[in-house]
Amino acid sequence: GAVVSQHPSWVICKSGTSVKIECRSLDFQATTMFWYRQFPKQSLMLMATSNEGSKATYEQGVEKDKFLINHASLTLSTLTVTSAHPEDSSFYICSASFPGGSVGEQFFGPGTRLTVL
Amino acid sequence: QKEVEQDPGPLSVPEGAIVSLNCTYSNSAFQYFMWYRQYSRKGPELLMYTYSSGNKEDGRFTAQVDKSSKYISLFIRDSQPSDSATYLCAIYNFNKFYFGSGTKLNVKP
């Protein structure tokens, strides 16, 4: 149980275009979802925390107008990278937690590799 | 100062060796500590989860927290080639997770 999926698993786009990444909890309702980015050989950096039905909370230094997060339902959150540029190329990972789970327990998706040409 | 620091390695050991992975953290108020394993191009998966100080064992894996020195460890006994991955320590505090940079482990057959 507690499976999180992401789509697409990889995407290549041209500079200036927008890319949407979906994160779904397949067998549980995720009240909170987290979005991370990970550069090669570096750790996960939290970008934002989203709770279903409310605005996402962004970490310092993360542009909310560039990285649009929507958590419209208890099983789906989306991250849209607007006007993507090569420096946005990274591995984006979402995770989800649910009430009743162990404190601090979160389940990660498999990640989406974004390459901006 | 970063909330959690981790030696990035890489760490290379022969099969069957005991592996010790370590992190230090900055805030003595932290209570929840996790270890994740991440295979290449995959999302992390939770290995161990401990609250406060002490040890927790699960099969070949033992997680240890020393709050007096703000030090957390993961021990792997009888390491296998399939244990080759990047191991991330993490701390959970007020609905936010702080991750170490990860230690890349290679277990040679």
Kindly report, residue by residue over B14-44, the tens digit of the pLDDT. 999 999 999 999 988 888 899 999 998 888 9
In this prediction, residue A102 carries a pLDDT of: 63
Taking all residues of chain A, what is their mean pLDDT, rounded to a whole number?
A: 89
Give the tens place of pLDDT for each residue, A37-79: 998 777 889 999 988 888 899 999 999 999 999 988 889 999 9
For residue A26, the 8-state DSSP code is S
In this prediction, residue A1 carries a pLDDT of: 62
A101: pLDDT strictly greater than 70: no
- Three-class SS state of A88: helix
In this prediction, residue B96 carries a pLDDT of: 78
Pairing assessment for the beta strands B96-99 and B85-93 based on DSSP bridges: antiparallel
Q: Cβ contact (<8 Å) for B46 and A106?
A: yes
Residues of chain B with Cβ-Cβ distance to A21 below 8 Å are none
Alpha carbon of residue B66 to chain centroid: 13
In this prediction, residue A92 carries a pLDDT of: 96
Peptide bond before A99: cis, by omega within 30 degrees of 0? no
Taking all residues of chain B, what is their mean pLDDT, rounded to a whole number?
A: 91
- Alpha-carbon distance values, A10 to A86, A96, A101, B88 (Å): 15, 20, 30, 23
Token pair, residue B108, equals 């040679």
B63: pLDDT strictly greater than 90: yes
Residue listed under structure tokens 């990972």 = A93
Give the tens place of pLDDT for each residue, B43-61: 898 898 888 888 999 999 9
Task: Kindly indicate the confidence band of residue A103, based on its pLDDT and cuts at 50, 70 and 90.
Answer: low
Nearest to A78 by CA among A6, A17, A14: A6
Contact between A107 and A99 under an 8 Å Cβ cutoff? The reply is: no
Q: Choosing among A43, A45, A95, which should be mutated to test the B contact, i.e. which has the most B CBs within 10 A?
A: A43
Chain A contact for B51 (CB, 8 A cutoff): yes
What is the percent of chain B with per-residue pLDDT over 70, rounded to a whole number? Answer: 100
The minimum CA-CA distance between A14 and chain B, rounded to whole Å, is: 22
Residues of chain A with Cβ-Cβ distance to B92 below 8 Å are 103-104
A93: pLDDT strictly greater than 90: yes
Higher pLDDT, A43 or B107: B107
Q: Name which of B34, B49, B102 is nearest A43 (Cβ-Cβ).
A: B102
